[in-house]
Amino acid sequence: YVELHDINKHFKKFHASKDINISIEKGKLVALLGPSGSGKTTILRMIAGLEQPDSGEILIDGKVVNNTPGSERGIGFVFQNYALFRYMTVYDNIAFGLRVKKIPEEEIRDRVKELLELINCEGLEKRFPSQLSGGQRQRVAFARALAPNPQILLLDEPFAAIDAKVRLELRTWLREMITKLNITSIFVTHDQDEAIEVADEIIVTNLGKVEQSGTPQELYKNPATPFVAQFIGHSV
Ligand code: ATP
């Protein structure tokens, strides 16, 4: 599981994360929900080791990981706008993290095949990202993040760049995939409907703080602050 204890982060004088306390159970799908600039991505990047907090502790499975390099935290990251390598095929994109780990090419072949089946993209391995639909690209980004078998999957606005109809399909698909894999997942969104429909738990952020966390029902029935009431209440 993932825990953040009293995390603070500044960018120069700007206080981007204020006394953040979060606890995420294993296998849960959690949404970090808040308006633009509320500090969601910063939290995700600190968990991934892409940013260092100024103070506080980050724990994964009970172990403090502040000084553990991101690459050794067992984390897969799906970036906003897919961030696939444009000049690499689907196969090479998915294989990337495995090659970095010096896994034998034969094993890589099996793993990529398995992942292509998981994302329903068999037969697309030779295509380049520009030859895929938005939904397919996002599935490939998902497979690339999952390739090294992470324990935790972080997704930054995974549906943002996708048109509305495909976005709905992709939400359902992601929900099913994550349940099947039983992988702890945290995704960033500013979309209340998305968080309510997809997440087991929602962490609401505002102005660098956590306003409230709980199940979608808890937040809807018992909002802790006027901000949560207004932010969550609008969508249902
Ligand atoms: P968005 O949905 O717009 O991405 P967010 O809730 O994810 O918003 P963050 O990206 O975490 O918010 O940013 C929180 C604040 O910290 C913003 O005001 C942003 O400008 C600032 N910030 C983030 N990264 C940096 C950085 N590297 N240097 C300076 N300021 C930063």
pTM: 0.92
- Atom of ligand 1 at shortest distance to CA of 80? 4
H or E element that contains 23: strand 14-24
DSSP state for residue 73 in the 8-state scheme = S
Rounded distance, CA 203 to CA 183, Å? 18
Tens digit of each residue's pLDDT (9 = 90 or more) over 5-26 = 999 999 999 999 999 999 999 9
pLDDT over threshold 80, residue 161: no
Rounded distance, CA 145 to CA 54, Å? 27
- Output the residue whose Cα is nearest ligand 1's atom 17: 37
- Atom of ligand 1 at shortest distance to CA of 35? 6
Tens digit of each residue's pLDDT (9 = 90 or more) over 47-98 = 999 999 999 999 999 999 999 999 899 999 998 776 789 999 999 999 998 9
Could you tell me which of 11, 34, 8 has the C-alpha nearest to residue 21?
A: 8
Tens digit of each residue's pLDDT (9 = 90 or more) over 121-137 = 999 999 999 999 988 99
What DSSP line would sit under 156-189, residue for residue?
A: ESTTTTS-HHHHHHHHHHHHHHHHHHT-EEEEEE
Query: What amino acid is encoded at 55 in this protein?
Result: S
